[in-house]
Amino acid sequence: MDEEVADIFGPMKIADNKNARNQHDPFSKEQLQTIFNSPLYTGCKSRRFRTVPGYTDLSNTSWYWLPLLGLWTGARLNELCQLNVADIDHEEGIPLIRVQESDEDQRVKFGKSRLVPIHPELVRLGFLRFVQAQRQTGHKRLFPELKLGATGYYSDQASKDFNRYIDRIGVKTAKTSFHSFRHNFKDACRHAGVQPDTNDILLGHKLPSMAGRYGDGNVPLPVLTEAICKIRYRELRLEHVNGYRGAGG
C-alpha cells in the first residue's frame, strides 16, 4: 500500500565513469513499458495510492514528469529536480532546458552547464504547457513541491520514492533506479547514430581522453537538436499517455 509522501524521486549521486554500467542497468523494454503503463500514467486511485488504478490525474506533478524527462533528456535526477521555470527557454526557435549551476542552490556535476533541446515527444505530451502553467502561477521553481534536503539536494527524498514506486509495480532490481534512464538515453543515442562526443555533451559527461583536449567542447544548438530528434525508443508505446491536462489535474 502506498505511503503519503511530500516529495518524489531524489538524488542518485552515482559517478559517471567507465564502471557506471557495472553499477546500474538500463531499464529493459519490458520494464519501461511497465513504468509508463502504470497508474501514474493511466490514472491512479489518489495521490497517496499512486500504484492503484483509478481516475486521479497526476500530470501536473513532478511524480509524472521526472521519469519522462529522465528518459528523453538523460539528465541526472537532481539536475531535473532543481530546475527553475526560467531554465526552460527557447533559442533560435528551439525549446530547450538549461542545466546550470547558480549562486543559490543549483548544482551540476563537474560544474559544466549545458543546453538540452526538448524532445518532440515531451512537447507532444504537453511539457511546455505544464511549464507555462507553472510560470503563470508565479512559481520560480518548476517543481516547487520538491524541498531542499539536508544534503543540499532537491532530490533527497525523490530517489527513495521512485525506487519504492518501481518496486511496487514489479520493476525494481538491484541495478535499476532513476539513474537507469541515463543508460537508456545513452543507448538510444548510440542506436540512433549520434556522435559519441555529442552524446557525452548532452549527458554532461567530460569528453574522454584526447577528445577533451582539443577544441572548445561545444556543439551548435541545431546539431544538438538534430541529435535529440533522432532518439527513439521503438518498442515503447506511449500513445495511451494523454499528457498534461491542466493545473487542476
pLDDT tens-digit profile of 143-166?
A: 999 988 888 888 888 888 899 999
Mean pLDDT along residues 69-89? 95
CA separation for the pair 143, 137 (Å, rounded): 12
Residues 70-93, mean pLDDT to the nearest whole number: 94
Gyration radius from the chain CA atoms: 17
Average pLDDT of the residues in 204-214: 57
Query: What torsion, rounded to 10 degrees, do the Cα atoms 155, 161, 166, 167 define?
Result: 130
Average pLDDT, the chain: 85
- Which comes out higher in pLDDT, residue 148 or 77? 77
Residue 73 parent element (H or E): helix 62-73
The Cα–Cα gap between 94 and 80 comes to 19
Predicted confidence band of residue 24 (pLDDT cuts 50, 70, 90):
confident
13 pLDDT more than 50: no
From the list 61, 99, 65, 102, the residue with the least C-alpha distance to 181 is: 65
- The whole-number pLDDT of residue 6 equals 46
27 within 8 A of 181, measured Cβ to Cβ: yes
pLDDT of residue 98 exceeding 60: yes
Cell of 213: 583536449
> What predicted TM-score, i.e. pTM, was given to this entire model?
0.86
Q: Is the pLDDT of residue 57 over 50?
A: yes
Q: What per-residue confidence (pLDDT) applies to 42?
A: 94
Q: How confident is the model at residue 45 (pLDDT cuts 50, 70, 90)?
A: very high
| Mean pLDDT on 71-90 | 94
Show the cell assigned to 160: 527513495
pLDDT surpassing 70 at residue 54: yes
Cell of 193: 547514430
**Average pLDDT, integer, range 205-234:** 75
Q: Cell 491536462 appears where? A: 245
pLDDT at 151: 83
pLDDT of 5 strictly over 60: no
Mean pLDDT of 196-211: 77
User: What long-range pairs does 175-179 form, CB within 8 A, spacing at least 24?
Assistant: 175/23, 175/24, 175/25, 176/24, 176/25, 176/27, 176/31, 177/12, 177/24, 178/9, 178/12, 178/66, 178/67, 178/70, 178/77, 179/12, 179/14, 179/24, 179/76, 179/77
